């Protein structure tokens, strides 16, 4: 299986502030009632964007900037700490990715969200608290300036600014080498898998 090498994402950015933004907020459970991921994009952050009365609420996802990202199918979301906590539902990164976000920059990411995003080829890079605040402010003040998320160099840059970023080494490796979906590697190990399985009594029902 050949996959694109994701060394860099260069796109417009949207700041979605707040810590501990959970997957129920990213994609409310009622949109999990489906047998495919198609069409999830339009429901990203649905209940944050639309009030119970059906009217739009002030939310970054309702901005013109968000619409540009949706149209371009390319964008960087700048988030806070512990982004994507809560459930393991892949529907969360799937909905943001289908909406148009192709990279995340934040203070920290919930583990399962991070793994699910990486497997989609969507890098999640981490900045220090101070740098994140600066990046967030920059993005808000300069909506027309593209942000470069450089997975190979481990930097996030915009305009004249460059911030040092980090990401788990295995995720970086997978992205830049076009191996972010592990299925090919996992399939290759079939013989070793059989050997491991053979050593586990319970796999044979014992």
Partner 1 sequence: MAKTLFQKVWEAHTVRKLPNGQTQLFIGTHLIHEVTSPQAFGMLRDLGLKVKYPQRTFATVDHIVPTNELKEPYSDPIAQEMIEALRKNTKDYGIRFFDTTTGTQGIVHMVGPEQGITQPGTTIACGDSHTATHGAFGAIAFGIGTTQVRDVLATQTLALSPLKVRRIEVNGKLAPGVYAKDVILHIIRVLGVNGGIGYAYEYAGTTFDGFSLEERMTVCNMSIEGGARCGYVNPDQKTFDYIKGKPYAPKAADWDAAVARWASFASDAGCQYDDVKVFKAEDIRPTVTWGITPGQAVFIDEKMPALETLNAADRQTAEDAYAHMKLAPDTPIKGTKVDVCFLGSCTNGRISDLREVAKYLKGRKVSPSVKAIVVPGSQLTAIQAVHEGLDKIYIEAGFEWRGAGCSMCLAMNPDKLVGDQLCASSSNRNFKGRQGSQTGRTVLMSPLMVAAAAITGQVTDAREVFKV
Q: Can residue 119 be called a binding residue for partner 1 (CB under 8 A)? A: yes
Could you tell me if 109 and 124 are in contact, meaning their C-beta atoms sit under 8 angstroms apart?
yes
Q: Taking the mean position of all CA atoms in its chain, how far away is CA 203?
A: 35
CB of 53 to partner 1, least distance (A): 10
Tell me the C-alpha to C-alpha distance, in Å, between residue 135 and each of 39, 63, 143, 155, 162. Answer: 31, 19, 12, 12, 9
Would you mind telling me the total number of residues written for the chain in this entry?
A: 206
CB of 151 to partner 1, least distance (A): 13
**Rounded distance, CA 47 to CA 53, Å?**
11
Q: Toward partner 1, which CB reaches closer, 34 or 71?
A: 34
Q: Toward partner 1, which CB reaches closer, 89 or 139?
A: 89
In the numeric block, which tokens belong to residue 57? 């609420």
From residue 85 to residue 114, the character string flagging contacts with partner 1 as x (rule: CB under 8 A) and all else as - is xxxxxxx-xx-------------x-xxx--
CB proximity list for 152: less than 8 A, separation 6 or greater: 7, 8, 172, 176
CB of 159 to partner 1, least distance (A): 27
Residues of this chain that interact with partner 1 (CB under 8 A) are 18-20, 22, 24-25, 28-30, 32-37, 47, 51-52, 81-82, 85-91, 93-94, 108, 110-112, 115-116, 119-120, 168-170, 173-174, 177, 179, 181-183, 185-187, 189-190, 192-193, 195-197, 199-203, 205-206
């Amino acid at each position: 299986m050949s996959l694109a090498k994701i060394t860099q994402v260069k796109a417009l950015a949207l700041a979605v502030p707040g810590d501990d933004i959970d997957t129920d907020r990213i994609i409310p459970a009622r949109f999990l009632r489906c047998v495919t991921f198609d069409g999830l994009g339009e429901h990203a952050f649905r209940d944050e964007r639309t009030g119970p009365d059906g009217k739009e609420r002030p939310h970054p996802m309702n901005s013109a900037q968000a619409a540009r990202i949706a149209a371009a199918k390319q964008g960087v979301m700048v988030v806070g700490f512990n982004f994507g906590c809560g459930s393991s539902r892949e529907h969360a990164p799937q909905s943001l990715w289908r909406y148009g976000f192709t990279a995340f920059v934040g203070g920290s990411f919930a583990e399962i969200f991070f793994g699910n995003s990486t497997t989609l080829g969507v890098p999640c890079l981490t900045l220090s608290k101070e740098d994140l605040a600066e990046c967030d402010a920059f993005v808000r003040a300069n909506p027309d300036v593209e942000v470069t998320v450089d997975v190979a160099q481990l930097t996030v840059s915009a305009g004249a600014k460059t911030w040092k970023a980090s990401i788990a080494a295995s995720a970086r490796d997978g992205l830049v080498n076009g191996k972010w979906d592990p299925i090919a590697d996992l399939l290759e190990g079939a013989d070793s898998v059989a050997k491991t399985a053979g050593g586990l009594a319970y796999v044979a029902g014992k």
